[in-house]
Chains A and B, each alone.
Chain A
Amino acid sequence: MNIITQPQLVSWLDSIAKERPLIAPRNVAGVLLYRPVENSSEIAWGPTRPLMSVKDVLFPPTERLLTIEKVGLEVKLTDTFPEGNVVVFGVRPCDARGMQVLDALFIDTEPVDPYYARRRGNTTLIGMACREMGPSCFCTSMGGAPDDTSGADIFLTELPGGFVLQVLTEKGEALLSELSLAGFYGELPKPSYNRPLNLVERDAWPTHFNDEYWESMAERCLSCRICAYVCPTCRCFAVRDEALLAPGQFERIRCWDSCAGENYRRIAGGHKPRAEKGERLRNRFMCKFYYYSEQYGLDKTVACTGCGRCVDACPVSVDITEVLAEFGR
């Protein structure tokens, strides 16, 4: 462990930003988002977590998968893989954990998603411990912590006047190479934890499948997609071929989808397997706490990092912690 002072950190970030895209929390017209910054002065340093998770750096809202070109009778397909190294600064522990959940689907399970895998390989995450848990945070109940280093390549913990810097991976080592820092031998400050939630055992979730609760709790749901899009672990997407302006040119894109949307999983012929919002919202929570870990062998890990974004962003205050409380009684 090393100590990095605020001026050292700032000049280090500035030198990174000169070489490759640096993405950091930035205040964009009043909304805190992970966005490219030209230098460290654009970074929003506050303790608030950005509205959107770091997911949209590695799994962008829309991404071109390949281009399709029709030349005479031939159809030519060209993969468009993401290129270039990216550094993300100020990643919250809940976001870094979220990446690990996405890895289970995109990288650890065959077939590997080459787009995600490349971005993941090209991205170095500089994590940052939270000073304290926010009012809607419940990461400690989901197996994380405000000072959890997992998933980050480099991890910073704030101290008066500077940060404790831990290098956790070779990628982090490579990024830090030229910087010489003083050692740190003290105790890391321990953030206080919110009261943990009572949780239901994973295997008990299917027993609640037919509960009437789903319909009543979903009644106020607007069927918008905010919860899925701000979530660091929601990863549903749709794929479509679209025509470009030039004749004979097409592209295949994928973009985010959400089980909250009315047309989610609509199949040929128009049948919607989850026509009612209670069924769709049930899917959201069953997916987070049962289906996903069951399907991808995540054992005790759930597909929720307790970041609380959906709690804060929901326009009608549908609250995931209430669902957990309902079944965890």
Chain B
Amino acid sequence: MYEPKIIAFLCTWCSYTGADSAGIARLKSPANIRAIRVPCSGRVSPEIIMRTFDQGADGVLVLGCHIGECHYDTGNHRTAKRLPIVQALMEFAGLDPQRLRLDWVSASEGERFANITNEFVDGVRALGPVRWRVTSNQLRAACERVLPSIEPVEYTASDCAGKTEAIRARVKELLSSREADCAIGYEVSPRGRTRPTFVYRPEDVERLVWNPDCTHNLTTYLREKLHPEKGKETPKKVAVVVKPCDSRAINVLVAENAFEREQVYAIGVVCDGIADGKGSLQTRCATCAERIPFVYDTLIGDPSTHDTKPSSPVAPGIAQLSESTSAERMEFWLSQFDRCIRCYACRQACPMCDCPTCLYERDDSTWVGMGIGLNEKRTFHLGRAYHLAGRCIGCNECERVCPMNIPIGYLNQKLVQEIENTFAFRAGLTPVVSPIVTVLAGEYKEG
């Protein structure tokens, strides 16, 4: 008979002792459990869970102290906030949700430990062996499913010439008065392509433009402009042209202390959406209702003609994927990740991906192999999606820059939905850090 391999992460203060209690009471608990003692269930990071599945576990059980009984006060609060997100993500990527479970067992609850483990092992046994780790690269056209695209929305730009003039005038003032040392905006390349540009002298402002192709999220350059290599001067203030979605990145980065709000001069542009090059709005813009930046020092364009509100984070493909079976979702994502070449463009273009060295690129990393294989690619993408949970501002640059057309945005959007449903929180509307990585007000015990 098939016996699943189950890894159980047990908090040393409660659940591990709870397992002991079960033993002392001679309660029967399944032999499939390989217990790993951890100082706190909060120690069990998503990377550990994904790695465990990568290494062939059929199920992962995380057991911690009951809420309010954590030895470290709020360690298990982190688990309680984090695990449902990881569950949602892995389920979306095609893992059967029954294979990952979080529960609470205190030191005296031997019976509860036995019940939970028996129930979990029975559930996983019924599912059969896990199909998480991919052993063959034989994915073919059969699983190259195409998701429904939303109806194209005709693009109409309003007053690009006026906005261009206003941006130039503003930047000229900032640079002349030395209020800002550098301005990041858009220019048109000799080949006619709109791209990011950096202006340092007032006489160079004529390069700056505003047009329907200003798609890049320029806030991604802020971290390196404001934290230059050793030996270079840090600019006092950097001006940056932002659309509403981009502006949310400033809020998140300020909240996370990536830089001070005073170091950035945000030139907000009233946004009509960005064109896709074929006369329609880009998909991300077609569902977006944000018109006025959420943070700006000066506003370009006429806000009175626009009604701004946070847009719906629901993308049509997500609903369709969520309705399919786990196996179908797994197939879908593997066929997408199959194309990935691990060029890291998604990460590099992302203003939120600001680790000095990416966890998935460290050459001593034991979280992910160096190869450009399916398992590694999935680990990278799911790991990155989790790291953006509660931080992703939905600019969708990751998806735009992907040379392989991988709908990475779906992963992020899915977690945006989860965070919104669980915490009623959306990243970057105000300078507040993601609730899943912080201790919320009132979480600490009085005194």
- List residues of chain A with CB under 8 Å of any chain B CB: 28-31, 33, 42, 51-52, 61-62, 136, 216, 219-220, 222-226, 229-230, 238, 240, 242, 245, 253, 255-256, 258, 261-263, 266, 275-276, 311, 313, 315-317, 319, 321-322, 325
Instruction: Specify which of A62, A230, A240, A276 is in contact with B403 (CB 8 Å cutoff).
Output: A230
Given A136-B191, A275-B229, A319-B189, check contact A62 B372 (CB 8 Å): yes
A29-B335, A51-B403, A226-B403 known; 17 new pairs, CB 8 Å cut-off, are: A29-B339, A52-B341, A61-B342, A216-B198, A220-B221, A225-B344, A229-B343, A230-B403, A240-B363, A240-B369, A242-B371, A245-B133, A256-B341, A266-B363, A311-B191, A317-B189, A325-B190
B216, B349, B372: which contacts A61 (Cβ < 8 A)?
B372
Residues A242 and B370 in contact, CB atoms below 8 Å apart: yes
A261-B344, A315-B401 known; A255-B371 Cβ under 8 A: yes
Q: Known: A222-B220, A225-B344, A319-B189. Is A62-B371 also a contact (CB below 8 A)?
A: yes
Consensus secondary structure, chain B interface:
loop
Q: Flag if B198 contacts A219 (CB, 8 Å).
A: yes
Minimal Cβ-Cβ distance residue in A for B356 = A262
- Give bound CA distance, A275 to B224, whole Å: 12
Q: Determine the chain A residues whose CB is within 8 A of the CB of B363 once the complex forms.
A: 238, 240, 263, 266
Distance to closest chain A CB from B134 (angstroms) = 12
A29 to B139, CA, bound (A): 13
B146 within 8 A of A: yes
**Which residues in A have their C-beta under 8 angstroms from that of B348?**
222-224
| B146 cross-chain contacts in A, Cβ below 8 A | 29
Q: Which residues of A contact B191 (CB under 8 A)?
A: 136, 311, 317, 319, 321-322
Q: Min CB distance, A29 to chain B, in Å? A: 5
The 8 closest A-B pairs by CB, nearest first: A315-B401, A224-B345, A61-B372, A317-B195, A222-B348, A62-B371, A224-B348, A225-B343
Known contacts A222-B349, A242-B371, A311-B191; is-contact A33 B403 (Cβ 8 Å):
no
Are A31 and B404 in touch, CB under 8 angstroms? Answer: yes
- Taken together as a complex, chains A and B put the C-alpha atoms of A31 and B141 apart, in Å, by 13
- In the bound complex, residues from chain B placing their C-beta under 8 Å from that of A245 are 55-56, 133
Cα distance A42–B133 when bound, in Å? 29
Between B56, B370, B401, the greatest number of chain A beta carbons within 10 A of the residue's beta carbon is seen for B370
23 interchain pairs, CB-CB under 8 A? A42-B141, A51-B403, A62-B373, A136-B191, A220-B198, A220-B221, A222-B349, A222-B401, A224-B349, A225-B341, A225-B344, A226-B401, A226-B403, A238-B363, A240-B370, A242-B370, A253-B369, A258-B343, A275-B229, A316-B195, A317-B189, A319-B189, A322-B191
B369 and A242 contact, CB distance less than 8 A: yes
How distant is B190 from chain A, measured CB to nearest CB, in Å? 6
Find chain B residues with CB under 8 A from A325 CB: 190
State the interface size on chain B (CB cutoff 8 A). 43
Partner of B341 from the list A229, A242, A266, A319 (CB cut-off 8 Å) is A229
**Interface pair B190/A322, CB less than 8 Å apart:** yes
On whether the beta carbons of B343 and A28 are closer than 8 Å, the reply is no
The answer for the CA separation of A255 and B376 in the assembled complex, in Å, is 12
The winner among B55, B133, B229, B372 for most chain A CB atoms within 10 A is B372
How distant is the Cα of A262 from the Cα of B349 in the complex, in angstroms? Answer: 14
Asked if B317 CB lies within 8 Å of chain A CBs, one says no
Q: Are B345 and A29 in contact (CB under 8 A)?
A: no
Given A42-B141, A266-B363, are A33 and B339 neighbors across the interface (CB < 8 Å)?
yes
Flag if A316 contacts B196 (CB, 8 Å). Answer: yes
Q: Is A31 a contact partner of B405 (Cβ separation < 8 A)?
A: yes
With A62-B372, A315-B345 known as contacts, the answer to whether A29 contacts B190 (CB < 8 A) is no
B405: A residues at CB distance < 8 A: 29-31
B361 located at the interface, meaning its Cβ lies under 8 Å from any Cβ of chain A in the complex: yes
Q: Check A220/B197 contact, CB under 8 A, given A266-B363, A319-B190.
A: yes
Per the bound structure, the CA–CA distance linking A222 and B348 in Å amounts to: 6
Contact of A255 among B144, B349, B370 (CB under 8 A): B370
The interface centre, meaning the residue of A261, A315, A322 with most chain B CB atoms within 10 A of its CB, is A315
- CB neighbours (8 Å) of A242 from chain B are 369-371
Closest to B361 in A: A263
A-side contacts of B221, CB under 8 Å: 220
Q: Measured between C-beta atoms, what is the minimum distance from B184 to chain A in Å?
A: 9
Docked CA distance A74–B189 (Å): 60
Question: How near does chain A come to B31, taking the closest CB pair, in angstroms?
Answer: 20
User: Interface code B352-369, partner A: CB below 8 Å = 1, 0 otherwise?
Assistant: 000001000101000001
Contacts of A322 in B (CB 8 A): 189-191
